[in-house]
A and B are shown apart, each in its own frame.
Chain A
Amino acid sequence: MESTKTPFLDTIFHLRTIEQVILYNKIITISRMEETDTASFLETEYENEILEYPDVAPKFNPGAALWAARTVYSAAQLLLYREHKISDLNNFLPEYMGEIDASVLVSADICLRFLPQIILELKRVDPEDLVIPILENHLVQFHYSAIGYEIDIENINFDILAANECLKGLYLNRIVERKATKFAQSDFIKKQLEIGFGDYKKVFWPQL
């Protein structure tokens, strides 16, 4: 494979444009310069997406977006080249530092929406892999990216949806799009879905 000076940025760029993960090397350290470039690229992507977002989209959070990009990148690295000790894993896949609000969830989703597929791939290789519980734990926190994926939804707190109209709209859209019956069990979500369906529940989602 041809070499590139910015493997992280290129991987994220391909992920966002052609929705494929391409890894260029085994290096997991990312330069400060590359991080800045990636953050501004993700911000442009975010600006494009919010045109389609309902209501007023929350402000872009570069920290969260970058954290998500790095998590997806590291997860993909761990899937292909496993040369690390188990004790190092938590360093490669740190938890998100900071308070999680609508802006953080939506900004992180720009990359994090691809994580469930990587986890499925990891499970296919080795269902006992210790990376899986770490990543799934991330997804429980960033549950907007996990809709439709099999995770424990009992620990999910839906209160965050009521606080932000845009996130609520996006969340419900994704539940309907992926027909995530499990996520539609909560009373709050059920009520909101019914408001959206009006008389046409049978047209939009007859199985619910």
Chain B
Amino acid sequence: MDPARFERKSAYEWHIRPFGKMRVPGVIFASEDLLREMDEKVHEQVVNVAMLPGIVKASWAMPDAHWGYGFSIGGVAAFDVDQGGVVSAGGVGFDISCGVRTLHTGLKVEDIDKVKHRLADELYRAIPAGMGSTGSIRLNDAEMDAMLKGGARWAVERGFGERADLERIEESGCMFGADPSQVSAQAKKRQKDEMGTLGSGNHYLEIQRVTDVHAPEIAAAFGIEQGDVLVSIHCGSRGLGHQIGTEFLKRMVIAAPSHGIVLPDRELACAPIGSMLGQEYLGAMRSAINCALANRQMLTHLTRKAFARILPGANLPLLYDVSHNTCKIEEHPFDGVLRRLYVHRKGATRAFGPHHPDIPEAFKEAGQPVLIGGSMGTASYILAGTDLGMGLAFGSACHGAGRAMSRHQALHRWSGRQVVDDLEMRGVLIRSPSMRGVAEEAPGAYKDVTAVVDAAEGAGLARKVARVQPLICIKG
């Protein structure tokens, strides 16, 4: 995009003054280089979101923003129920509560060097990945509803993990306000065989090593040091979330005129928060958040068991679990008043600063861990929320590298086998059922994740704590 289309507020903050039907300004956080690389559609989508009823303060895009559906991926917007605010199925997306969780292993790189291939093979056997894979348990109707109500708490009660895990998950592992009766029979059917599965696309399970520590005091609070081996899991609410997204998108598009809402883009389908449809969506969407939390908890359990078979005695406590496709009620000061807002983050991570009441006691001084997934060949980052970020975009930061090119282009440029061989030469073991899938996810198809997190830090959204690099990647 041409930077001349924006009013530059700082090195990393670009404003679009309200015009036409925009109710608030648009703001993109990015370096000039990242902004220039961004698709024109990001501008259009940031502007469209700014037109939605009840939007508060601004329509934001994070440094990894790219062309999404209705909202850009990397879009953040908050709505006030007292100003006719809306909840948007398009603003949350299809993969409700997709997110990243990171586990400690208590191991150093040299501890796993000798068993790396065995560990990769064992994890690949243990983690159902890719289309057509199924989980090891089937839920009956009562258990499905219990899972949708209980989230990771349900999973722990069923033996998938430890009680201590729950303290390290947003919402303590259980999203309040879930209403499984609002989840259709189709959505539940789609989930029946998918509990404890990774999915495909950009989802992965990685064994990583900490290559750099940028903020030693925060890293100490997070319990990480250079050379540590970590596990990161990136996935979401599986078929259930996708089906809920699909169904409510259609219902909200059809109902929009009856709510007096003119949609600048059908994908921005939304309903007033106070409407019956809005409330039904919130009940279903929160159920999907619990599904995602339960799913990542079950994958954690499978990972621990696989580790125990190869490295007996290894202990894998949870560092943190954070979602990046959600709508949550949060309190934020605005215009001198504390307001209760419905904050949509679509491909954006919550990044609460130090002393926020919703972050675990252990991170009170450090700020919330913000887990940023990169591409499989490059790096990922662990950031921390900041006080400054709370005032910028209601405590939000980027979520990943963001794609630089389409799957189509990637497929023409790389062969999956070549990508796997090249990465193995560089010490990264890839295990995947689909070489075409690997080609579509080639590292070169993504933006430079370091440039993205540098921009997030430069803008003040979050602070860089550590860089991690993959050793093993299980790809769906």
Do A and B actually bind? no
Residues of A within 8 A of B (CB): none
